[in-house]
Amino acid sequence: MELVAFLGNDKENWGQISALMNKSDWDKVILVKNKTSENFPESSAEIITVNSDLSLVDLKKEIMSKIKSKLAGFEVSLSLASGNGKEHMALVSALITLPVGIRLVVFTKNGIEYIS
């Protein structure tokens, strides 16, 4: 399964994304990143840089156009631990419009858990 995660400016939440990336054997990791998010240890993840200053509808369109060719399956594990509401709405809307199923995933003291 592929991991898709949004990487916002809130560096205090980047540990959650790093843990998810490193604690499972994902087929692929795709980070959708705000253009101002810098210095994340990206390792082997595929990076999609977006302009979060766009309107919600335009941000969704930008995400859709950039992520569509990178997805191989019909379902992804999705982390929304980082970013803001507008960024999350645009990413979720883009994925379900493509259409791609989403399973919300989080890293806890028990390891990787699906919450949907």
Q: What is the mean pLDDT of the chain?
A: 93
Residue 92 has pLDDT above 90, yes or no: yes
Range of the domain at 43: 2-114
b/e per residue, 3-26, with b = 16+ CB within 10 A? bbbbbbbeeebbebbbbbbeeeeb
CATH number where 18 lies = 3.40.50.11700
Segment 14-70, tens digit of pLDDT: 889 999 998 888 999 999 999 888 877 767 899 999 999 999 999 999 999 999 999
Domain count, the chain: 1
